[in-house]
Each structure stands twice: as C-alpha cells, then as structure tokens.
Structure 1
Amino acid sequence: MTIRTLLLEPQATEVQVGDTALLERWLQDRRGTLWLDLGGEEPEVEERLLSRFEFDELSIQDAQRERHPPKVEDFERYIVIILRGVDGEADGLDFKTLQLTMFVGEDFLVTRHARRSSSLDHYWDLGAGTTEWLTWGSAYIATQIAVRMANRYLPVLLNLEPRLEVLEEEMFERPSDAVMAELTSYKTDLRRLRRVFMYHEKMFGEFRQSRSALFGEELRHDLNDVFENYERLHSLSTMLYETAGDLIDGYISTASHRLNNTMRILTVITAIFVPLSFLAGLYGMNFENIPELRVHNGYFVLLAFMGTLAATLLALFRWQKWL
C-alpha cells in the first residue's frame, strides 16, 4: 500500500519524488505537472485524496470498484480512463487481471490500482528519472501506459497457442482428465479475456474518434495503436477460445468413441457366452431324466457344438466389422 507523488515545477531541472506533502504544495498554486499514484490504499484515504481534485463522486466510486468494465468518460476538465491489465506478478499463462483507473487532467495525472502494475511502474521510473516525461504531459503518459498494458497481453496469448497444440497431441496419444481440466480452464480464461478485449476495443474505437481537448491530434496515432492492439487481441483470443472449445469437443468425441469400442467388445463377448452359458446351464440341471446325458460321447458332442457356435458368432461379428 503506497501513496507516491511526482512533481515537475516550471523551469525545474529535476523531478521531485515524494508523498502527499508534494500534493499539498501543488494544490496551493497548481504550478507544474503532478502525478499522484494510489496503490492499494484504504478506500477512505483514497476518497479523501481524490476529492481534493474535485472529481465527480460517481467517478471516484467507479475507480474503487474492482470489477468495473473498462470505459472512458470525459468531464471536460479531466478524463477518467478505466483499464484492465495483466497483474504485475503474472508468470506465463498463470495470470490475473487488475483494474487501473487514470484521472487525466491538463496539469495532473492520478492513477489508482489495488495491486502492482508493471506497466505503470515502468513509466513511473522513467518519470522519476528525467524531466522529459512529465514535460510531454499527463495525456501522453496515460496513452503510453495504455499502449504498454495492451502489449503485455500479447505474449500471454502467443504462449497459449503452442500449449494448445501440445494438448491436442496429448489428447490423442495420452488422454487423461488432466488434459480435459486444463483445456476447460483455458476456455474459461479466454472467455473472460475476450470480454475484456471487446470492452477495450469498443472503448478505444470510440475514444480515438472523439475530439477531446486533452488528447489532441498529436496523440491520435498512439490511440489508433491502442485500438489496433485490442482489435488484434480480441480476434486472437476469439480464435484461441474456439480452438479450446473444438479440442474439448474433440476430447469428448474421442472418449465416446473409445467407450463405444469398449462396449462393442463387451457386447460381442456377451453375445458369444450367453448361448454357451445357456447350454451349460441346461445340461447342468439336477434332473434325473435328461435323455441327452446318457448319450455316449454326448459331452464331446456338446463341446464341439459349443465351439462351432462360438466360432460361427465370431465369424459373423468379423463379417459385420464389429471386431
């Protein structure tokens, strides 16, 4: 849980790094550019600090909701951007998403997130190390954060594609419940990601065509880049989602086929042994008057008949291609 602040005052040769003390100083005369970052603070503390900027109360509530859909809302004096990105602790395909809210004004940038964002940290370190970044303005920094957050999704999806190919091979060579469980997990994650990408694609598609005073023509190319990235991510996630679904359907079909083969063999065995069991049971009854029991070589005749019957049934099943 951290509250950190960057402040670049006019004609300053270096960026000041601090906490709420820099915020209080900036609020007195609002000279320079301020970046306030709220990382996992108590809601009451966040609300108190955000209200110092006179943000709309509903926008503050939206920022503090952990499952708010991505959106852009223009309040003229500032713009609220809510994004969902890859968690900073993400490792390979095992990742979670985090919500990042940015309040973008002409001379300030306020970011709020519950967990660490590596995309934000990257530009925070750049902003703290040189005056150039804050000189470019809060809208530029917010756009670059959005670009980097979109780019972080791509390796996750690209790494998933070869994994699905491996699972497809295992599905036929070494089918197991673990393969099915992994495929189902991926399909669930991809459905969630596809919904996230759809929100972002629609959001940036509309935002890039807007005429916001804060995001001028010089940022139009970057906004187009973000839109195109999410458009590609949406398309790729949809393809992988359908692939995972096809593999699950294929696994179920393969399992059903194996079960049908097993049942067919069991049916053949049953069909052969039922008449044999009937004959054995018939002549095994303990009645005194069973004429066939007194026939000389009757035992061998019955065995020959039972063997012929079994062979005939086997030949019939092979002719029917049941074996």
Structure 2
Amino acid sequence: MSAPAHNETRGTREKSRHPLAAWRRHHRQCLRGALARLIRRPVGAWATILVLGVVLSLPALVMTLGHQVERLGAIWMSDAARMDLYLAPGTDEAERESLRDWLDRQATVAEQRVIPPDEGLETLTERLHMNGLEGLDSNPLPWVIELTLSDARPDTRLALAEGLREQSAVAEFSSGGEWIERLEQIRAFFDELGWWLLILLGLTVVFVVGNTLRLELHERRREIALIALIGGTERYMLRPLLYDGTLTGLLGGLVASGLVALAVSVTAGPIERFAASYGAAIAPQIDPTLVLLLMTAGALLGWLSAQVIGRFYIGRLSTP
C-alpha cells in the first residue's frame, strides 16, 4: 500500500474513533466535575448526603432487624427438625416395633431413637438435679421415640403429623417447629415493611436530591443556554447532572450503611441478651448484601432524580 493511501486510511480510522473518544472524554470531565463540586461546596453537598443517609437508614434498620430474626431462626432450626413421640401407656413391644416399621417407611424421617422410661427418668433426674426419683414404685414416664427429620419444612411436618394421629400407639407428639413458623412470619413482616419504607422514603430521596440539582442547574443556566445555542444535545447537557445525582445518591447509601452499622454495634448487647434468654447465641452484624443494596438504591434514586429534574428544567432553560 502506498504512503498516501496508508495515511488516508489512518485518517479515516482516527475520524471514526473521534466521536467515541470525545464521548469518553466528556464522561471523565463530568465525573471530575462532580467530585470537584463536592470539594468546592462541602457544606451544602454533604448536608444533602447526610439527609439521604438518614432517610435510607430507616428501612435498612428494619431489614437488619429482620435479618437478626432470620439468624435466630436458623439457630433454632435444629428444633424444627426434631419430633418427640410419646407412646400410649400399656403399649407392648409388638406395637412399638410396628410403629418403628411405619416410621422407617416415611421419607421425611431420617433417624429415630427409642428412649425407654428408665432412661427418660434418669435424664430427668440429672436435668432437674433431684434425688430420690429412682426409688419410685412405678415409673410415670412413657416410652418416647425421638425423630430426626430430613425435611423440616412446615408442610412436610404437617403431613407427618397427620399420619401420626392415625397411629394408635402414639398418645401425643411434640414438634419444635412452631417457633420457627412464628419467626418466619415475623421476618417476612420486617422484610415487607422494610421494602415499603424503602419505596416511600425513596420518593423523599428523589425530591431532596432534585432540589439540590435544581439549584445547580439554576447556577449553570447561562452555560446551558450557550450549549443549546451552539447545537448541544439535551443528553450532553444532562450528563453532568446525572453524575452529580448518582454520586450524591451513592455516597448517601454509603452513609446509611455506616449509620446502620453504628446502630447494630450500639444495640448488640441487648440483642445478645435477648437471644441468650431463649437459649441462642448470636453476634448481631450488618448483612453485606444490605450495604450493596443501600449503595445501589441510593445511586439509582440519585440518577432518577437527575433524569426527572434535569429533563424538566433543561428544556425550559435551553428554550430561547
């Protein structure tokens, strides 16, 4: 290829890359400008960021409380996977073996352990620290079969319970799943409440950020009018505002994460004592997924606010 043809091809490639290079350069300028405005006007910018952090931390605290309830339920899940069967008085060995054969055929029963009355009385004596129970004329405790379930879901426990009611050898049975079901309902309530608060307070974030961005647009009204006069597109004029809104929302979400972490650390003692009163041990902590959710929600809300406010006011400012 000749030198003129080579130069012409290279010039064509440079021209084809020029719009993309300009687009990247403008994005870098918008990002640097957004960071510069945070430094140049720290009081106004960080006041808005702090308000965003407080607003976003409210639903996050509710979700965090639901997460602690879920962790407490996970600790108690071992109780949900157990069932104790109390056999009817006078049940003979043949009836017990028949019941055990029926339990072996149940897919949800992973393991069964038979506890004779003598062993149960000995365990009760050790647990209550009482002497003299061994000398009773008759043992009042029944035969007990302790079950370990392979599936602790409420529907499977309910199906097994229906089958146990039809077994004549079983007088009563107890399951530790009631607490798990209640905790699951509480956790679902906190999750739903947190999402509703996030949606409702998200509108507040849009208005708070929008008011700040509106003041920014008012200061740049001459610049916007000049860009519109020389043929600048609305997208070009809106881009700096989008960086301002997104960065403000992102930092607001980060502040909200810090406030939630502070609240969790302050209330860790009472939460640990509450869990210990129910025989559980948990160390309260903020869910890393929640931090990511707060930062993402803040950035999206800031971007949305910039879109709404920017398109409305830029259209009016750029009109001669």
Higher relative contact order (CA 8 A, sep 6+): 2
TM-score (norm 1): 0.26
Higher strand share: 1
TM-score (norm 2): 0.27
Higher helix share: 2
